[in-house]
């Protein structure tokens, strides 16, 4: 008698809790922000009935597109996020490869050191960097004592300080993403490349990195999107003199009380990030063999 095949459970039901969670805590707030950004008569303190029954229009989006300061902050945020992504990529790949090739206590130490920034509060990390990067911080004092500089470098309240702080905080996301892909690579491929005469650098360049492409893609997306949305680190290390786009949004809600305009800025940031992510996935997508 042939063995009866057991039907696999419908995977839709397995995804239902995550779908409900995303709908409740992501989709619904985004729809609320979209409605608020289109409202032309809503004021802080008005009830939801005013928002739902009031006039709608694109006035705030037209104002946004004509606001040079806001567009400049958006471009600046894109540049900072790109710099952070490039730095984490340059530092994360060697660290992930080192974790992958190590064994025993050394591997555990490297992995623990890689994820250590995730174990520390973002606020604590940001203020820790402020101690290092200030005019009287350890870095400037050390460079002055060595005679390398005569005046303190402006590391705080600058884009450089923001890039340094975000790179430190977001590096684990790059390392863990790349390491997860490296773990799926058969080590026999590396041994075969070594047998055929390829040195270590050539092996990593032609075999390891192409096979870890999915991890690289995931790490780039994670780091870039988190850097675009970062608020605490830029607020501490950049200050009001170098506001990034999330800080501009925060000011519209907390200081200017222009909630509808702040909602339009939030939707604009979401649209820009979705377009960039979609474009990146389209350009970096795996090509299927014919």
Classify residue 229 by burial, with Cβ atoms within 10 Å: 0-12, 13-18, 19+: middle
Question: Which CATH superfamily, name and number, covers 64-281?
Answer: MetI-like (1.10.3720.10)
pLDDT at 9 (0 to 100): 60
The residues near 97 (Cβ < 8 Å, ≥ 6 apart) are 178, 182, 204, 208
Residue ranges per structural domain of the chain:
64-281
pLDDT at 268 (0 to 100): 94
pLDDT at 290 (0 to 100): 36
Q: How far apart are the first and last CA of the chain?
A: 41
Q: Cα–Cα distance between 285 and 279 in angstroms, integer? A: 10
- How confident is the prediction along the chain (290 residues), in pLDDT tens digits per residue? 455 555 556 667 888 888 888 888 888 888 888 988 888 877 777 777 777 777 888 888 999 999 899 999 999 999 999 999 999 999 999 999 889 888 888 988 999 989 999 998 899 999 999 889 888 888 888 888 888 888 888 888 889 999 999 999 999 999 999 999 988 888 777 777 777 777 777 777 777 888 888 999 999 999 999 999 999 999 999 877 778 999 999 999 888 888 889 999 999 999 999 999 999 988 877 544 33
Q: What is the pTM of this model?
A: 0.85
* Closest C-alpha among 65, 53, 58, 69 to residue 260: 58
């Amino acid at each position: 008698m042939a063995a009866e095949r057991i039907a696999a459970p419908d995977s839709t039901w397995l995804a239902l809790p995550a779908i409900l969670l995303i709908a409740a805590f992501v989709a619904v707030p985004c729809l609320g922000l979209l409605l608020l950004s289109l409202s032309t008569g809503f004021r802080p303190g008005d009830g939801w009935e005013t928002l739902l029954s009031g006039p709608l229009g694109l006035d705030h989006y037209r104002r946004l597109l004509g606001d040079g300061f806001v567009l400049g902050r958006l471009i600046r945020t894109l540049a900072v996020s790109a710099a952070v992504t490039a730095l984490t990529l340059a530092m994360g790949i060697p660290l992930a490869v080192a974790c992958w090739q190590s064994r025993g206590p050394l591997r555990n130490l490297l992995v623990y050191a890689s994820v250590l920034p995730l174990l520390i509060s973002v606020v604590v990390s940001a203020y820790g960097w402020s101690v290092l990067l200030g005019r009287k911080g350890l870095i400037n004092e050390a460079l002055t004592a060595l005679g390398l500089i005569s005046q303190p470098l402006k590391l705080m309240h600058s884009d450089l300080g923001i890039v340094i702080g975000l790179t430190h905080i977001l590096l684990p996301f790059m390392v863990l993403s790349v390491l997860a892909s490296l773990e799926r690579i058969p080590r026999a491929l590396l041994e075969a490349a070594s047998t055929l005469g390829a040195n270590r650098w050539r092996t990593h360049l032609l075999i390891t990195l192409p096979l870890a492409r999915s991890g690289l893609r995931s790490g780039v997306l994670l780091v870039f999107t988190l850097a675009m949305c970062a608020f605490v680190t830029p607020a501490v290390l950049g200050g009001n003199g170098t506001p990034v786009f999330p800080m501009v949004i925060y000011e519209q809600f907390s200081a200017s009380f222009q909630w509808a305009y702040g909602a339009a800025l939030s939707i604009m940031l979401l649209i820009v990030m979705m377009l960039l992510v979609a474009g990146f996935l389209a350009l970096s997508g795996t090509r299927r063999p014919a």
